[in-house]
């Protein structure tokens, strides 16, 4: 210390290089955060819920197609029901088979690309069921339907963590899951309407077209409208964007996009609740 009581530069520098201490929680403008969440809800929730509704329609419409004459036209009547059971089960075989690889590799792509392409994929597979002329064709369509839907279902809860905190996730996931029940109600109404169409095409073929083509269209829309992450969302600006990025860090999503954390993968494989 000098005679005038001031510290030399090296002492001041040494005082400033102390430990950071406990983490400081940033002060958040509650009104700004409410407006941000409403803005996110207006874009993300309707689109992802509509995708989930179509996913359940496309996986469950086989039962309605059965009532409209599919076994008689393609499966030779299938008097024992064995062939139909195999076709129905094929979706779940491929869905279970592809789930883990889909979740791991999904982090290598931007969410809108992954979810949009998965939607287009299962929409095409669902639509192509209308062109099936034999047992093998239906098996193949259902196999790829399961593959592509496996890339969507587990991805959406992960995607929500990019924009919502853990305290906000519960309600939004409940709404998202609830659209499976909505799909059950819509599926019956659509099948009833299709059943009364007079056409040279079999009603069950029309059913697959009616429920598959909108899925492809919504998948294309997803490629252009679904936001990827807060830091790349074009319709967030200024303080709202900064807050959205801070919320993502607050929720623990600090990894860079396009990377796979091997530690997280191994931890999941070793978790007895998963295995």
219: domain CATH number? 1.20.1250.20
Residue 19 lies in a domain: no
Q: How many CB atoms lie within 10 A of CB 221?
A: 15
**DSSP string covering 221-261:** HHHHHS---GGG-TT--HHHHHHHHHHHHHTT--SPTT---
Q: How many CB atoms lie within 10 A of CB 51?
A: 25
Residue 6 lies in a domain: no
Evaluate whether 135 touches 83 at the Cβ level (below 8 Å).
Answer: yes
Residue 45 lies in a domain: yes
- pLDDT recorded at residue 250: 72
- pLDDT recorded at residue 251: 58
Residue 161 lies in a domain: yes
Q: How far apart are CA 169 and CA 133, in angstroms?
A: 44
Residue 21 lies in a domain: no
Evaluate whether 112 touches 228 at the Cβ level (below 8 Å).
Answer: yes
Residue 167 lies in a domain: yes
| Total domain count, the chain | 1
Residue 22 lies in a domain: no
Range of the domain at 146: 28-270
**DSSP string covering 171-202:** HHHHHHHHHHHHHHHHHHHHHHHHHT---SS-
Q: Comparing C-alpha atoms, which of 204, 60, 199 is closest to residue 132?
A: 204
Q: How far apart are CA 224 and CA 119, in angstroms?
A: 13
Evaluate whether 90 touches 147 at the Cβ level (below 8 Å).
Answer: no
Residue by residue, pLDDT tens for the chain (275 residues) are: 545 555 444 433 433 444 454 444 556 678 899 999 999 999 999 999 999 999 999 999 999 999 999 999 999 898 999 999 999 999 999 999 999 898 888 888 999 999 999 999 999 999 999 999 999 999 999 999 999 999 998 899 999 999 999 899 999 999 999 999 999 888 999 999 999 999 999 999 999 999 999 999 999 999 999 999 998 999 988 898 999 998 887 755 555 555 555 555 555 455 555 44
- pLDDT recorded at residue 12: 33
pTM of the predicted protein model: 0.81
- pLDDT recorded at residue 258: 52
- pLDDT recorded at residue 11: 39
- pLDDT recorded at residue 13: 41
Evaluate whether 204 touches 70 at the Cβ level (below 8 Å).
Answer: yes
Residue 89 lies in a domain: yes
């Amino acid at each position: 210390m000098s005679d005038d009581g001031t510290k030399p530069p090296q002492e001041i520098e040494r005082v400033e290089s102390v430990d950071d201490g406990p983490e400081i929680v940033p002060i958040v403008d509650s009104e700004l955060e409410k407006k941000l969440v409403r803005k996110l809800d207006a874009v993300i929730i309707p689109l992802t819920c509509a995708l989930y509704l179509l996913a359940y329609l496309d996986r469950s419409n086989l039962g309605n197609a059965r009532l409209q004459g599919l076994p008689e036209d393609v499966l030779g009547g299938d008097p024992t029901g064995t062939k139909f059971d195999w076709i129905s089960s094929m979706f779940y075989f491929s869905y279970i088979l592809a789930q883990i690889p889909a979740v791991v590799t999904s982090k290598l792509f931007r969410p809108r690309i992954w979810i949009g392409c998965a939607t287009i994929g299962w929409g095409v597979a669902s639509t192509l069921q209308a062109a099936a002329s034999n047992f093998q064709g239906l098996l193949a369509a259902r196999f790829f339907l399961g593959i592509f839907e496996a890339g969507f279902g587990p991805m959406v809860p992960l995607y929500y963590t990019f924009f919502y905190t853990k305290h906000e996730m519960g309600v939004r996931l409940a709404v998202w899951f609830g659209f499976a029940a909505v799909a059950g109600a819509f599926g019956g109404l659509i099948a009833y309407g299709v059943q009364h169409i007079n056409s040279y095409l079999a009603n069950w073929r029309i059913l697959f077209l009616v429920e598959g083509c909108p899925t492809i269209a919504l998948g294309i829309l997803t490629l252009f409208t679904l936001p990827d992450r807060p830091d790349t969302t074009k319709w967030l600006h200024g303080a709202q964007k900064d807050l959205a990025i801070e919320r993502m860090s607050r929720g623990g999503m600090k990894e860079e996009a396009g990377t796979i954390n091997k530690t997280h993968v191994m931890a999941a494989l070793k978790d007895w609740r998963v295995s």
